[in-house]
A and B are shown apart, each in its own frame.
Chain A
């Protein structure tokens, strides 16, 4: 199976190429576009990115695996992230995590993450990347059952 970017993304790539002094700088933007397009970053996508950025495949792989938000395996379930850092822990992130694990781990992938910059709305979690702040078990039930 080979990978190619869709038309919209190819247009974006053309624009982006003008914005960076070297092709190598496209690696992160291209990894994001690939992940958006397929839901994860496949080996084939990394081969393509290696061509477009004029960098060896191993470099692409090494970069992709460094950053925690890049997913190198396909994920069938939707992702819920719970922040576990201090402001959230002080405001009950453990209760949120427990509620999620006990009730939703079959339908969702539950991940613990570090501070998301939402400490003012602690405890917080995300659903498919979207922030839910001052979250309570009841709110989770409403949001997750509706999804």
Chain B
């Protein structure tokens, strides 16, 4: 059931060292790369239908084009903030096959005409970014990176310092400029991001790590996997109440329940399934009966009222209190709101506090109305999609498990 494209070298001992990496196919895509014109590379990525793997699933090729169309200096920024609860896939790439990421960065910089790149790694990942730094140093020493390289690329690791919101691309760029991590207002029409005013492409670690396979094997080799709209594979992660939590790469479109049983080892301790949060904490929860029909691709999960997100599934067994689970998540949102927008700052705080009443079984019907109306107020009037995502989380729990909330009402 596993399809190993990005994770191909994960099991190979010391694949993080340049020597072992070279023996196992790293940097071979570069030969092919330099036979193409940059625009041809972008066209290949467009044809491959590669979609961003940081949660949104935006087509990568179109974003590359936006950045490439600008003249002059530009940047590539790789998003390794990975702070979405339930998500722990980028960390595997960084620590097990860092040269794959470096190779992907070189391909991407060449395509868009950038020579400088930054990898923004969440601060907590120090052990893993140290491994990545060693790989980068090795690549510099062998002129794979730096001024002497065939196509000169600089890579600088920039360490975050503990703020979930810095994963949002404009907040990330603020942080990279030396500011607080506050998301920026979004432009009306499509345009690239800007770093100190220069056009900048922001992509997730796994997106960039998927590029070498496509360059080497062609777009069709990639679209051969997955579904029509969701091409290729994803490093799905699975955690919570499962026997074999971990990260296993699979094609888009596989059955969620199948995945949970075959790769996740089934629900822990032989318990029954109650629900799954399908793609990181910010995606609406699916009750067991929908899990049975769910497929792991963008379109199917959307049609079920949720989203594929980062592909990080959190499995909940029959004994879980949905009230407690929602409280856990809202405490997270309350803690992580950057505080710029009133509906988000006040809303997450209010819902977090109101949920205490449900936990203590002192809630009233009016409190349930408060949850609903505050959730509504958080949707659509904020600078970034953090607040609407939190709203979707609340609504998902109330839609499928309202009875458990009603049981807490005096």
Contact = CB atoms under 8 A, between A and B. Distances in A.
Contacts of A31: 161
Interface in B197-213: 198
B314 A117 contact: no
Contacts of B85: 85-87, 114-115, 119
Interface residues of B, number: 56
Interface in A72-130: 84-87, 89-91, 114-122, 126, 129-130
Interface string A51-69: 0010100000011001111
B246 A114 contact: no
B159 A68 contact: no
Contacts of B387: none
Chain A interface residue bracket vs B: 35 or more
Given A69-B161, A86-B328, A118 B178 contact: no
Given A67-B160, A114-B164, A22 B237 contact: no
Contact of A122 (B156, B245, B316, B325): B245
A86 B240 CA distance: 8
Nearest to B244: A120
Interface in B156-204: 156, 158-164, 175-181, 195-196, 198
B314 A70 contact: no
A113 to B, nearest CB: 8
A118 to B, nearest CB: 6
Contacts of B124: 69, 116-117, 126, 129
A45 interface: no
A29 B91 CA distance: 21
Contacts of B195: 21
Q: Which 9 A-B pairs have the closest CB atoms?
A: A67-B161, A69-B162, A27-B178, A119-B239, A68-B162, A115-B85, A24-B178, A87-B239, A66-B180
Given A86-B329, A118-B88, 11 more contacts: A20-B156, A62-B180, A63-B178, A69-B161, A86-B85, A86-B328, A87-B85, A87-B86, A90-B320, A119-B245, A120-B247
11 contacts: A28-B158, A31-B161, A53-B178, A68-B163, A69-B160, A69-B162, A90-B316, A119-B86, A119-B87, A120-B238, A122-B240
Interface of B: 82-88, 91, 116, 122-127, 154, 156, 158-164, 175-181, 195-196, 198, 237-241, 245-247, 277, 281, 312, 314, 316, 320, 324-325, 328-329, 331-332, 335-336
